[in-house]
Amino acid sequence: MNDTFMKEKPVLPLLLSMALPMVLSMLVNSLYNIVDSFFVARISEDAMTALSLVYPVQNLINAVGIGFGIGINAVIALHLGAQEQRAADQAATQGLLMAAVHSVLMTVGSLAVMPSFLRMFTSSAAIQALGVQYSTIAFAFTPAIIFGVSFEKLFQAVGSMQVTMVSMLCGCLTNIVLDPLLIFGIGPFPAMGIRGAALATGIGQVLTLVIYLVIYAVRPPRVRIRRELLRPELTMIGRLYSIGIPAALNLALPSFLISALNVILAAWSEVYVLVLGIYYKLQTFLYLPANGIVQGMRPLVGYNYGAGEYRRVQQIYRIVLCMCGGIMAAGMLVCLAVPGVLMGLFTQNPDTVTVGTSALRIISMGFVVSAFSVTSSGALEGLGKGAESLIISLCRYALIIIPAAFVLSRFFGPVGVWHAFWVAETLTALISLAVYHRVVKSAS
């Protein structure tokens, strides 16, 4: 493949070739999250509540891995666009070195805080026990998650989207197959309950990493990990973290948001906590495919920005915005049409279904405008503007929605929390457009 294809191939076919494999793998990833929750919900409603409470810490681990991986991806793409091969190799090598440090810290830290974290949100000993059972196994696979994401971003940076698609699909499908076998003890497998769900997820993550390593060894990508570049170089590490830290915070903010909203909602009933957890499972069907498109966009934006193709950067941005907007519009229509059916996938409690139906209809009103925030944030990360991307996420996940949820809940009860979602998405969309256009104007 021509090394300059990212700036020479027509934009729409190029974007589709980069994004569609990621959208497909993200849709399967969404399915695996849904299937995971579907089977856990069959254990008991307590098990589903425990899974919802563990989710913020689980998301934090993913955020650290993916966020720093975005830093690796962006720095590699920028150097490749500027035809700086050694610097691109250095970014990959030292990025993997830092990922090793992160994996150790996140494994030890997450396992240590989990029992006290669960006690903050529920007094139920049964739910606490189930949460500890799940997290102890799931968090033991943290190194596989972080290294897997790092290799994923390395391959994406050089345009090898098919490699990441195959690896992620194999891991997700393995998890889907193993879930019922390990949870319910089908055939020769032991009945492990919620522990089985965690183990199935971990095995899938390990398989994904193994496939990356095999492909890297058998068919080396353009960017290589080189022993002579392992010595830490402060300038390069600074560049990786300048993008990786804001990106990780972008992804970690939902964990902070969910925990804050759980505190507000728990004052009324754990039913509302469960509904919020179910919503975040369902919304992955929208935001993960949209994120797949953004992942396809990010190296293209970085490469073309590094090559000085500013008009092409704008064209890529507009096309991605339309694609994400279409996904969000479809999601809104489904949530308005059959919210009860969606909630019924995870609970048979009629009261929970009723509360969830109302929540989905209200929250979905903010889906379409969220496309502006999602696209702008991803484009800014591709441009190496991590701090500006973080501003958008802070508005979306903390500075607007949490105060809005607190105030609206004082007037409208738990329903006020659901309304805070579309209020925050609308205001953040306006802010994201202003921030993105200011950055692009100053760059060109």
DSSP-derived secondary structure for 254-271: HHHHHHHHHHHHHTT-HH
% of the chain residues with pLDDT over 70: 96
Give every CB contact of residue 196 below 8 A, 6+ residues apart in sequence.
178, 179, 181, 182, 183, 184, 185, 189, 190
Q: What is the mean pLDDT of the chain?
A: 88
pLDDT at 363: 97
Domain assignment of residue 1, yes or no: no
Domain assignment of residue 303, yes or no: yes
Domain assignment of residue 31, yes or no: yes
Number of domains in the chain: 1
Higher-confidence position of 345 and 375 = 375
Provide the CB-side half-sphere exposure for 282 (13 A, CA): 28
Query: Contacts from 434-441 at CB under 8 Å and sequence distance 24+?
Result: 435/376, 435/380, 435/388, 435/391, 435/392, 436/317, 436/376, 436/379, 436/380, 436/388, 439/380, 439/383, 439/385, 439/388, 440/310, 440/313, 440/314
pLDDT at 292: 82
pLDDT at 29: 62
pLDDT at 26: 67
How many angstroms from the chain centroid is the CA of residue 394?
A: 16
For 113-137, write each residue's pLDDT tens digit.
999 999 988 889 999 999 999 999 9
Higher-confidence position of 34 and 402 = 402
Domain assignment of residue 124, yes or no: yes
Q: What is the mean pLDDT of residues 334-355?
A: 91
Mean pLDDT lowest among 187-201, 284-298, 332-346? 284-298
Higher-confidence position of 429 and 122 = 429
For the chain, give me the number of helices (H) and strands (E)? 18, 0
pLDDT at 415 exceeding the cut of 90: yes
Q: Which two structure tokens, joined as six digits, stand for 343? A: 């909630």
Higher-confidence position of 28 and 350 = 350
Domain assignment of residue 198, yes or no: yes
- Collapse the DSSP code of 230 into the 3-class scheme (helix H, G, I; strand E, B; otherwise coil) and give the result: coil
Q: What is the mean pLDDT of residues 84-104?
A: 92
| CA–CA separation, 441 and 444 (whole Å) | 5
Q: How confident is the model at residue 300 (pLDDT cuts 50, 70, 90)?
A: confident
Q: How confident is the model at residue 251 (pLDDT cuts 50, 70, 90)?
A: confident
Cα dihedral 271, 274, 275, 277, rounded to 10, equals 160
Total Cβ atoms within 10 A of residue 108: 12
Q: Which of 90, 96, 71 is nearest to 226 (CA)?
A: 90
| CA–CA separation, 74 and 79 (whole Å) | 9
Domain assignment of residue 199, yes or no: yes
pTM for this structure? 0.73
Q: How confident is the model at residue 33 (pLDDT cuts 50, 70, 90)?
A: low
Q: How confident is the model at residue 1 (pLDDT cuts 50, 70, 90)?
A: very low
- Collapse the DSSP code of 180 into the 3-class scheme (helix H, G, I; strand E, B; otherwise coil) and give the result: helix
pLDDT at 281 exceeding the cut of 60: yes
% of the chain residues with pLDDT over 90: 50
Q: How far apart are the first and last CA of the chain?
A: 29
Domain assignment of residue 432, yes or no: yes
Q: Which of 251, 173, 164 is nearest to 209 (CA)?
A: 164
| CA–CA separation, 394 and 396 (whole Å) | 5
For 154-211, write each residue's pLDDT tens digit.
998 887 878 888 898 899 889 989 999 999 999 899 999 999 999 999 999 999 999 9
| CA–CA separation, 421 and 398 (whole Å) | 11
- At residue 202, what is the residue type? G
pLDDT at 66: 84
pLDDT at 288 exceeding the cut of 50: yes
Domain assignment of residue 172, yes or no: yes
Domain coverage including residue 359: 6-443
| CA–CA separation, 41 and 262 (whole Å) | 19
pLDDT at 311 exceeding the cut of 70: yes
Higher-confidence position of 8 and 202 = 202
